[in-house]
Amino acid sequence: MQAVLTFFDSIESTTRSIFLISGLALFLSMEAIVPLFKMDYNKLRHAGINLAFTLITLIINLFGALLIAAAVDFNLENETGILHFFQDLSPWFYVILGLILLDLIGAWLIHWIEHRVKWMWKFHLIHHTDPSVDVTSGLRHHPGENIFRLIFTTIAVLLTGASLGLVMLYQTISAFFAALTHANIQVPGWIDKPLAWVFVTPHFHKIHHHYIQPHTDSNYGNIFSIWDHLFRTVTSMGNMDDLVYGIDTHMSPEENSSIKNLLMIPFQDYRHPIGSKFSD
């Protein structure tokens, strides 16, 4: 395990890009072979919309990488962070604990907050407007939301004291799960259900993309589903065929398939979804 941390500590951007592209290619192939739904949509145009958001994300992440590196350096210089107290234990324990904590603070917590703070939700709902969830949907995030997540990732690094290698490992695994859990693939129940007690599986996450409450506000997990089970934010569906993707306030193609409109949604008047928890 120490060799893995060492590898990711000095991993090059090109190598990470190869990992990410390979993951997308793998799940694109699986979507063609074992699709969950046979969706009637222009897959290339749909991918183009979602990839456009990715290009913006890459620019933000250039600055984000500097912020995260500064957080790592701060912990090294000051010997701070939860993991500092476990650095003499097994590398396996260090990595597993680190991944779990980074996932809680850097992903689950900010995701949960985005669903409960109205002005943050208006940025996050761009992700929920996707009417045809597939492997590219994991790339569909408003630039404003990317900033929220970057801030919480930095906070997670500061609190955990994670090494750069561990952070890079976490982000690589996180990207893999984003592709896996959004991919339009059929997973046998005897595989999906047991794994969903610990990990976020494709069917577990798809429920989060159902267009109405209470499913929208559930199943927040990124890598580990344990947080949803622990905090009782899990919902389920008896039949996956009942899933309807999107968000009930933005079901029109003119709104959910226009990059210009998607970028402007956070600055438009708020719309109350069915079962909304916001009073105004």
**Contact yes or no for 236/196 (Cβ under 8 A):** no
pLDDT band at residue 156 using 50, 70 and 90 as cut-offs: very high
**What kind and span of H or E run contains 211?**
none
Between 2-9 and 164-182, two packed helices, what is the crossing angle to 10 degrees? 90
The structure's pTM equals 0.91
Between 2-9 and 91-103, two packed helices, what is the crossing angle to 10 degrees? 50
Handedness of CA 166, 171, 172, 178 (dihedral sign): positive
**pLDDT value of residue 14:** 81
**Contact yes or no for 182/134 (Cβ under 8 A):** yes
Poorest-pLDDT segment among 61-70, 82-91, 258-267: 82-91
Compute the distance between CA of residue 81 and CA of residue 75 in angstroms, rounded to an integer: 7
Tokens in use for 231? Answer: 């905090």
Smallest CA-to-CA distance from 135 within 260, 22, 219 is with: 22
Compute the distance between CA of residue 20 and CA of residue 26 in angstroms, rounded to an integer: 10
pLDDT band at residue 264 using 50, 70 and 90 as cut-offs: very high
Handedness of CA 84, 90, 95, 101 (dihedral sign): negative
**What kind and span of H or E run contains 164?**
helix 164-182
A 10 A CB-CB count for 81 gives 24
pLDDT band at residue 276 using 50, 70 and 90 as cut-offs: low
Spell out a b/e string for 121-133, using b for 16 or more CB atoms within 10 Å of the CB, else e.
bbbbbbbbbbbbb
**pLDDT value of residue 88:** 76
**What kind and span of H or E run contains 136?**
none
Tokens in use for 196? Answer: 């969903």
Which residue shows structure tokens 């226009």? 258
pLDDT band at residue 279 using 50, 70 and 90 as cut-offs: low
Q: How far is CA 206 from CA 13, 18, 92, 113, 159, in A?
A: 30, 26, 30, 19, 30
Compute the distance between CA of residue 234 and CA of residue 228 in angstroms, rounded to an integer: 6
**pLDDT value of residue 89:** 76
Q: How far is CA 95 from CA 11, 88, 263, in A?
A: 17, 12, 37
How many Å separate Cα 195 from the centre of its chain?
18
pLDDT digits (tens, 9 = 90+) for 32-63: 999 999 998 999 999 999 999 988 888 887 88
Compute the distance between CA of residue 227 and CA of residue 212 in angstroms, rounded to an integer: 22
**Contact yes or no for 161/168 (Cβ under 8 A):** no
**Contact yes or no for 125/265 (Cβ under 8 A):** yes
